[in-house]
Amino acid sequence: MRIALFVPFVAATVLTAVPAFAQEAGEAQQAGDAAPPAVAEAAEEGKARLSIGAGVAYFPDYEGSNEHTWSPIPAMQGTIAGMSITLLANRVSLDLIPNATGPGWDFQLGPVAVLNLNRSKLSAIEDPRIKALGEVDTALEVGGFVGIGRTGLITSDYDKLSVSLSYRQDVTGIHKSGIWTPSINYATPLSTKTLVGFFATAEIVEDDYARTYFGVTPAGSVASGLPVFVPKGGQKNISFGGMFTVALTGDLTKGLALVTGFNYSKLLGDFADSPLVSIAGSRHQWTGGAGLALTF
């Protein structure tokens, strides 16, 4: 049950992009630039904003599983004085650098925290071999991120391309490892009521992470029937995804919106060769979801 994927998934994209779109439109109007009328009327420079959302996601039972389950996911994004906080399922981050005025560069820096629920007691694992390996306690991963984005790049003054790098360290002693996550995101409004986004990301993890979630000990082999396996760390996966949102009331700056999206992740190296994946699961990991987001 590892929903947060570093750029975070469907709701994360829209909850970040929509308020930014609103703020940038208002700032552009203040600066005398053209802005879509519905957006310009709704946006005010420096105004605090909040988006809240809830939906359901269809995701693998555990990282590497070929079986899936449905689960609710909460989401929230708030902006005040240009700084923003984003909550998506088991991930929360805070961007401490206020957004620049109007189209231009956006520098990002702040803390991030993730609850790693993979193979925990909250996971809906059906495969008896994986159950026999035992549960893994929930890990709290804490760290930070840096990034840079550019607004008004390709399609209009309101599209945005950004790249970021995050690092998290387990502080609970469960897998005792660090996780590096580079990512790239692009989002653009198609009109005052619709928006699309795309992202790509990867995760690079340390040896203890690999052994905790993808290894099979001699005792685990006897219990599960899977062969003993001692993986090494490295690049765990590469992921691609996209989302689409349409305003059901109002426009992208306020009101209720429908959000849909998907994510594909391919496990690599020792992670793909792990018996939990190569025998009991699949290296091809799919996640999909839909929900509602309210911006005001």
- The per-residue pLDDT for range 265-288, each reduced to its tens digit, is 999 999 999 999 999 999 999 999
Instruction: Name the band, by pLDDT with cuts 50, 70 and 90, for residue 122.
Output: confident
pLDDT above 90 (res 148): yes
The pLDDT of residue 278: 98
Instruction: Name the band, by pLDDT with cuts 50, 70 and 90, for residue 37.
Output: very low
pTM to 2 decimal places? 0.85
- Kindly state the DSSP code that residue 20 receives in the 8-state scheme: H
Q: Taking all residues of the chain, what is their mean pLDDT, rounded to a whole number?
A: 85
pLDDT above 60 (res 155): yes
Give the residues across from 186 on adjacent strands: 161, 198
The pLDDT of residue 88: 86
The pLDDT of residue 252: 84
The pLDDT of residue 48: 75
From 203, 217, 216, select the one nearest 268 (Cα to Cα). 203
Instruction: Name the band, by pLDDT with cuts 50, 70 and 90, for residue 100.
Output: low
Delimit the domains of the chain by residue range: 10-295
Question: Which residue's structure tokens are 């550019």?
Answer: 150
The pLDDT of residue 38: 38
pLDDT above 60 (res 30): no
Whether domain 10-295 has CATH 3.40.50.300: no
Q: Which two tokens stand for residue 155?
A: 């399609």
Share of the chain above pLDDT 90, in %: 69
Instruction: Name the band, by pLDDT with cuts 50, 70 and 90, for residue 157.
Output: confident
pLDDT above 60 (res 79): yes
What H or E segment, with its residue span, contains residue 24? helix 10-30
Residues 208-251: pLDDT tens digits? 999 999 999 999 999 999 999 999 999 999 999 999 999 999 88
pLDDT above 70 (res 17): no
Q: Which two tokens stand for residue 6?
A: 């570093």
Q: Where are the beta strands (DSSP E) in 129-221?
A: 139-151, 160-170, 178-189, 194-205
Spatial contact of 194 and 242, defined as CB atoms under 8 Å apart: no
